[in-house]
Amino acid sequence: MNKYLDIAPEVQEALAAGKPVVALESTIISHGMPYPKNVETAMLVEQTIRDNGAVPATIAVIGGRLKAGLSKEEIEYLGKAGRGVAKASRRDLPALVARGADGATTVTTTMMIAYMAGIKIFATGGIGGVHRGAEVTMDISADLEELAQTPVMVICAGAKSILDLGLTLEYLETKGVPVIGYGTQELPAFYTRQSGFGVDYRVDCPEELAAMFAAQRELGYKGGMLVTNPIPEEYAMDKAVIDAAIEEALAQCQAQGVRGKETTPFLLAKVVELTGGDSLESNIKLVLNNARLAARTAAELAK
């Protein structure tokens, strides 16, 4: 085991016994929502995973230690600290570990630490991808490279709709990452169920998801698998409303000169503001929906 890694006792016992475990990121706690909503949501997501037959393992860096599984107190700490905690991508881990610092994990670093711990399935809200205008800025999320090289199944509600979804799919195809639609042949766009772009395969049950991932592992692929699970119909937002909010958020982002890893938190916060908080509630519902599917898929994989 990696000498910098701490696996929570509940998670360690489940892994040793071959029981299903689902990884969760921590950026959504520190950067994705205000306190105390972030802590309430994190605890609700963990309970949802338990209710569906798996053990949750929220992942973060605390005091320079890579944590696979957080206590309630540690989740509360991250929630209160908010953006005072570093948003930790792959490039940040060596510095955080060496300095004994804290970091909230993105999709990238959650995948990395989950894999170190032996956790095969990870539930999140949406992945990063190719940003609009990337042909000029070269702003492409490290999430895509991680999916290409780390064998973890990521269950999400699609790529964040602030991105260039067509180019994101092209990038994943180039890297050989299977993109699976759960109950759909169309890529969901985070807040909405449709994007106009197709996925590689449609799957309609957790048993088939588990079988596909097991086959990928047995074939010796080094990368992961992306499962896109549409937001439930009753919580989806009107496409025209969300598109208008995104366009306004993008304009403000450019005007204020926001760049790099601050771009996504800025845009998502601005969309929440412009939609009167509706996008935050949709975000919570889609994360819970992904957690349920991840727990059920992990249970099938454990069989």
Specify the 3-state DSSP secondary structure of 116.
Answer: helix
Furthest-apart CA atoms within the chain: distance in Å = 53
Chain center to CA of 179: 15
Q: What is the DSSP string of 155-188?
A: EESSB-TTB-HHHHHHHHHHTT--EEEES-SB--
6, exposed or middle or buried, with CB in 10 Å at 0-12, 13-18, 19+?
middle
The torsion angle over the Cα atoms of residues 179, 185, 190 and 192, rounded to 10 degrees, is: 170
Structure tokens at 112: 């990395």
Closest CA to 301 of 225, 212, 219: 212
Closest CA to 62 of 50, 72, 71, 74: 74
| Contact by Cβ (8 Å): 267, 246 | yes
Show Cβ contacts of residue 94 under 8 Å, excluding neighbours closer than 6 positions: none
What residues are annotated to the active site?
25, 160
Closest CA to 296 of 218, 203, 219, 223: 203
Phi, psi angle pair for 196, to nearest 5°:
90, 0
Task: Give the DSSP H/E element, type plus range, for residue 66.
Answer: strand 65-68
Specify the 3-state DSSP secondary structure of 22.
Answer: strand
